[in-house]
Amino acid sequence: MASFKTDIDAASLRFRFFMMTPGVLVACGLIVFALGLLLFLAFRVNDGSLLGAGATFDNFVNAVSDPLYAMVALRSLVIAALVTLATVVTAYPVAWYLAFHAGSNRSVILFLLTLPFWTSYLLRVFAWKIVLAYNGVLNSALMMTGLTTEPLTVFLNAPAAVIVTLAHAYAPFAILPIYVALETIPPSLREAASDLGARPFTALRRVVLPLSMPGVLAAALVVFVPTVGDYVTPALVGGPASTMIGSLIQSQFGKANDWPFGAALAVLVMLVILALVIIVRRADRLYVGRK
């Protein structure tokens, strides 16, 4: 942290004020207020009205005591963990190539990585539907090669479809932080490793991977946190077996018509995610400490 000067003149104070006002407004209005409303709602009794009536802990008691919600939350965490694993494992080689071998092609590849963002996420989900469907690309290919005689229905409307779709969608979010982490590793360290007789794989395992760990953890966090609460992907390609906590929360605000309970569920999920984020930050500090 830079040390503050004590003799800040009025002009710079004014500048700071104007620079910070939009941020403060956004933070207070959109984050603090919205979260406050959610918290408030979570402690209300559902009487069908917009803001509920009376104060109660029942929403939390019900959510914790019914094993269904724990199960669905656990399912969401497992699916999100698998998505994170798949994304980071596939992103690492890409980032590796980008950082060490792409040379002059680097900017072109970085540009290509952002290309999927030119289309809406929904369209990308539907593209996966086309691939995984009963008469889809994957089934046609399997039947052409003679591996199956009848199209398989297991690809679509299954948790695997959710994992594949999300892993694809979040790939760039994982590649970029890992790439930045790899890029900042001084070439001399890798050279030193090979000078001292480390084979490439040993150098990766003992030198590069530990040094890039903060990037990997950042990538994991960026992928994991939004996917836990993902709602649209399981709804479109997941089928009943991959109902995630986001869908349950949404249904409380929709069909089930119990906003306070939905708010309580949302608060609980946020607490779980917060706990996980804290754990990852601890782990991160461990690596930074070693550096």
Partner 1 sequence: MQRKAILKTMMMMAAGAVSVLALLAGGTSPASAGSKLTYFTWSGYELPDFHKDFLAKHPDDVEISTFGDDDDALTKVKAGFHPDIAHPCYDKIARWNKEGLLQPIETAKIKNWDKIFPVFRNLPDIQAGEGKVWMVPWDWGNTSVLYRTDLVKDPEASWNLLWDKKYSGRIAVIDAVHDTPVVAALLAGVNPFDMSPADLEKVAAKLHEQRPLVSSYTTDMTSVEQSLASGQLVAAMTWNASAVALKKQGVPVEFMKPKEGMLTWACGFVMLKGTQHADLAYDFINSRLEADSGKFLIESYGYGASTSSAFAAVPKDELQNLQLPDDPDTMLKTTVFTGPMKQNDDLAKMFEKVKAGG
Interface residue list for partner 1 (CB under 8 A): 26-27, 29-31, 33-35, 37-38, 48, 50, 66-68, 71-72, 75, 133-135, 151, 153-154, 156-157, 177, 180-181, 184, 214-215, 217-219, 221-222, 225-226, 229, 239-241, 243, 247-248, 251-258, 277, 281, 284, 288
| Residues facing residue 44 across a β-bridge | 55
Q: Which is nearer to partner 1, 141 or 277 (CB)?
A: 277
Smallest distance, Å, CB 206 to partner 1?
A: 22
DSSP 192-204: HHHHTT--HHHHI
Torsion of CA 3, 6, 9, 15, to 10 degrees: 40
Chain-centroid distance, C-alpha 85: 11
Smallest distance, Å, CB 235 to partner 1?
A: 9
Q: Which is nearer to partner 1, 156 or 208 (CB)?
A: 156
Residue 56 burial (10 A CB sphere; 0-12, 13-18, 19+): middle
Q: Which is nearer to partner 1, 190 or 229 (CB)?
A: 229
Which amino acid appears at position 83 of this protein?
V
Smallest distance, Å, CB 10 to partner 1?
A: 30
Smallest distance, Å, CB 27 to partner 1?
A: 8
241 φ, ψ (degrees, to nearest 5): -70, -15
Distance CA 110, CA 105 (A): 9
**Contacts of residue 163, Cβ cutoff 8 Å, sequence gap at least 6:** 79, 82, 83, 86
DSSP 209-242: HHHHHHHHHHHHHHHHHHHHT--HHIIIII-GGG
Q: Which is nearer to partner 1, 130 or 196 (CB)?
A: 130
Smallest distance, Å, CB 200 to partner 1?
A: 25
Q: Which is nearer to partner 1, 203 or 242 (CB)?
A: 242
Smallest distance, Å, CB 132 to partner 1?
A: 11
Q: Which is nearer to partner 1, 5 or 290 (CB)?
A: 290
Smallest distance, Å, CB 4 to partner 1?
A: 19
| Structure-token match 């309970």, residue found | 261
Query: Are the C-beta atoms of residues 232 and 10 closer than 8 Å to each other?
Result: no
Q: Which is nearer to partner 1, 108 or 286 (CB)?
A: 286
Residue 19 burial (10 A CB sphere; 0-12, 13-18, 19+): exposed
Q: Which is nearer to partner 1, 200 or 254 (CB)?
A: 254
Helices and strands per DSSP (H, E), number in the chain: 14, 2
Smallest distance, Å, CB 76 to partner 1?
A: 11
